[in-house]
């Protein structure tokens, strides 16, 4: 194995999130505009190039690889990438290969994902109300996602539900979400809305529901016990005594998690973002296409990690507005 990747603040990089497409079959209101323009094919890394970049990171100590989008499972022939990356699980070089999905394609692909070595999936689901679901996703159908969750359970996949806390939208059903996840054996992670992409600052301010307030609301009904459970990501977990399930809190605004950041993100064009909340990036597509040798790619990766910042500086409040980065969450892979 090559020397491990260590950033300027002594943090080892063990976790790579790889966006395989900027396209999605939903248009969630906090993620993208309804009338999105997507990238031309020539700008997107091929599946072989995505494998090559991912493998370069694995050689330098990345132990967890998460496939994201857009919606990753809408990319044509995506299972060939999962099958190829599965070799790193077989060799022991990779501890975990996971995927974040909106669930729309799980009925089709759940069994194949398990066969490729995937054991856990994160499913983005913000509401259990079909009308609200249609309003949030614009194009989505809740029953399609529920069918996908059933297929994932039958395939043996562990499921974590990711829900963005949206004031005035899903705040009235937060207890129902906890109960439903407990009944189904799903973990639940709650996420603060992040100021990424142009959907209008007032919309961000209207949506923002701090997780400190969410936790207070949950404690009015549930007994939350602190837990040292971790998945390698930024969530801080508690156990719900009444259900036995877990709730994770991802708080980029009220309590950032930068001091322990072990992650970098590759978008589908090959741009490496060392921080989700900063614009600095490195063009790994150019490195991949410059040479068949991995030396150029390896050098580009190490140079990029040497610029990883200490943390992000997202802001959402009425006085200062919503300080954000210009790119949409769907383009970065979240």
Binding site for S-adenosyl-L-methionine, by residue number, is: 30, 70, 124, 194
Q: Answer yes or no: are the C-beta atoms of 276 and 331 closer than 8 Å.
A: no
Phi, psi torsion values for 278, nearest 5 degrees: -130, 155
Binding-site residues for [4Fe-4S] cluster, please?
Answer: 24, 28, 31, 258, 261, 275
Please report the DSSP string for 1-67 in residue order.
Answer: -PPPPB-TTS-B--EEEEE--S--S---TTT--SS--PPPGGGSPPHHHHHHHHHHHHHTT--EEEE
User: Residues with Cβ < 8 Å from 153, sequence gap 6 or more?
Assistant: 159, 184, 185
Say whether 224 sits in a helix, a strand or coil.
strand
43: how many CB neighbours lie within 10 A of its CB?
A: 12
Please report the DSSP string for 128-183 in residue order.
Answer: S-HHHHHHHHSS--HHHHHHHHHHHHHHT-EEEEEEEEBTTTTGGGHHHHHHHHHH
Binding-site residues for GTP, please?
Answer: 17, 66, 100, 160, 263-265
What are the structure tokens assigned to 19, written together? 């966006």
Handedness of CA 328, 268, 159, 102 (dihedral sign): positive
Binding-site residues, please?
Answer: 17, 24, 28, 30-31, 66, 70, 100, 124, 160, 194, 258, 261, 263-265, 275
User: Residues with Cβ < 8 Å from 17, sequence gap 6 or more?
Assistant: 66, 68, 263, 264, 265, 266, 333, 334
């Amino acid at each position: 194995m090559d020397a491990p990747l260590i950033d300027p603040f002594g943090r080892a990089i063990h976790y790579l999130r790889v966006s395989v497409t900027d396209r999605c079959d939903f248009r969630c209101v906090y993620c993208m505009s309804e009338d999105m323009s997507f990238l031309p094919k020539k700008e997107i890394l091929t599946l072989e190039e995505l494998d090559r970049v991912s493998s370069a990171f694995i050689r330098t100590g990345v132990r967890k690889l998460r496939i994201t989008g857009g919606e990753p499972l809408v990319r044509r022939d995506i299972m060939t990438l999962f099958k190829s990356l599965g070799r790193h699980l077989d060799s022991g070089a990779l501890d975990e290969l996971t995927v974040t999905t909106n669930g729309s394609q799980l009925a089709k692909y759940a069994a194949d994902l398990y066969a490729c070595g995937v054991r856990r999936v994160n499913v983005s689901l913000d509401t259990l109300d079909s009308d609200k679901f249609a309003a949030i996703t614009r194009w989505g159908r809740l029953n399609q996602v529920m069918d996908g969750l059933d297929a994932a359970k039958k395939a043996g996949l562990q499921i974590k539900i990711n829900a963005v806390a949206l004031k005035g939208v899903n705040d009235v059903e937060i207890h129902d979400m906890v109960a439903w996840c407990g009944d189904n054996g799903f973990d639940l992670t709650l996420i603060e809305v992040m100021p990424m992409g142009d959907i209008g600052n007032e919309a961000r301010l209207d949506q923002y529901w701090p997780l400190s307030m969410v936790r207070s609301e949950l404690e009015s009904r549930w007994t939350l016990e602190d837990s040292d459970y971790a998945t390698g990501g930024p969530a801080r977990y508690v156990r719900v005594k009444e259900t036995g399930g877990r709730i994770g809190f991802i708080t980029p605004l009220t309590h950032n998690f930068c001091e322990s950041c072990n992650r970098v993100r590759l978008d589908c064009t090959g741009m490496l973002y060392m921080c989700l909340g900063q614009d600095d990036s490195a063009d790994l597509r150019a490195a991949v296409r410059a040479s068949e040798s991995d030396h150029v790619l390896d050098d580009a990766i190490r140079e990029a990690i040497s610029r990883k910042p200490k943390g992000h500086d997202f802001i959402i409040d009425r006085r200062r507005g919503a300080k954000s980065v210009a790119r949409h969450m769907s383009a970065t892979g979240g």
